């Protein structure tokens, strides 16, 4: 992998991780058309996801800090964050079960442009339905165990390239009557344990990285982090303005185009 390829893929990951258009799908498509692109397993892709998750940690540092100290405090705010922490833990269970059970199968789909294209069409449909039938109302303190388990299951399925993790999880919460900004924040926080878990599993591929490639990998990760900060801010604005339909159109167009190219 060249430095230019790593920087381009890092930028692509950062911009598409939080916008509901499937970062994994875009990475798979871009890598498909890159001559000579190679990586051990999906190590580079996971490193890019780590970069964007560090952006989440920085952007939501207050929420993350409150979550971490909530078990050691007894005030009302800490009680609410302990409840949120428990819901995030519950939601992580189905994600982990699905990810660990089907990891190898899903990784194999990254090289199947037809599957990626079809899943982009699915993502567009989910966004359209969530915008059409969303029922804003419930805030963070009204999230339920059912919400967490449904979103955790959806997040687990979003390991399929072309299914947007942020788009599908936010869509699920919107359809369950959760406020848009609350849905986005819960989606971002729920991704943290999943991505760092995937990063730990991918460390086994680190020894296969060619000499001199690690700085290239880190450069791509850094770009993903910077672009991720910008895309978080952009998506929160889109959610507030209820304009997810725009991204549905994009996913339908991209999915249709690359499906035709894959035939």
Q: Quick one: 114 exposed, middle or buried, by C-beta within 10 A (0-12, 13-18, 19+)?
A: middle
Q: Please list, residue by residue across 163-185, b when 16 or more beta carbons sit within 10 angstroms of its beta carbon and e when fewer do.
A: bbbbbbbbbbbbbbebbbebbbb
Per-residue pLDDT tens digits of the chain, which is 263 residues long: 788 888 998 898 888 888 888 887 888 888 878 876 666 556 677 788 788 888 888 998 999 999 999 999 888 888 999 999 999 999 999 998 998 887 777 767 777 889 889 999 999 999 999 888 887 678 988 999 999 999 999 999 888 888 988 889 999 999 999 988 899 889 989 988 877 776 676 566 666 666 677 788 889 889 999 998 998 888 888 888 778 888 899 999 999 998 998 77
Strand-pair partners of 152: none
């Amino acid at each position: 992998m060249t430095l230019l390829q790593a920087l381009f893929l890092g930028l692509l990951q950062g911009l598409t991780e939080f916008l509901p258009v499937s970062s994994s799908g875009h990475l798979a498509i871009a890598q498909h058309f890159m001559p000579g692109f190679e990586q051990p397993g999906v190590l580079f892709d996971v490193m890019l996801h780590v970069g964007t998750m560090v952006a989440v940690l920085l952007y939501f540092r207050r929420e993350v800090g409150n979550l971490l100290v909530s078990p050691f405090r007894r005030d009302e705010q800490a009680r609410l964050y302990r409840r949120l922490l428990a819901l995030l833990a519950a939601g992580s269970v189905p994600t982990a079960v699905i990810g660990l059970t089907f990891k190898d199968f899903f990784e194999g789909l990254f090289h199947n442009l037809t599957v990626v294209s079809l899943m982009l069409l699915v993502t567009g449909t989910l966004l359209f339905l969530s915008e059409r039938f969303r029922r804003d109302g419930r805030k963070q303190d009204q999230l339920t165990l059912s919400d967490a388990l449904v979103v955790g299951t959806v997040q687990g399925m979003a390991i399929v390239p072309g299914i947007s993790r942020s788009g599908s999880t936010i869509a699920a919460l919107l359809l369950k009557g959760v406020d848009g900004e609350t849905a986005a924040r819960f989606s971002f926080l729920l991704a943290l344990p999943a991505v760092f878990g995937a990063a730990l599993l991918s460390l086994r591929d680190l020894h296969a990285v060619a000499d001199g490639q690690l700085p290239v990998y880190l450069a791509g990760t850094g770009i993903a982090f910077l672009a991720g900060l910008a895309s978080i801010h952009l998506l929160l604005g889109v959610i507030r303005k209820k304009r997810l339909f725009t991204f549905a159109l994009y996913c339908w167009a991209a999915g249709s185009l690359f499906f035709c190219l894959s035939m």
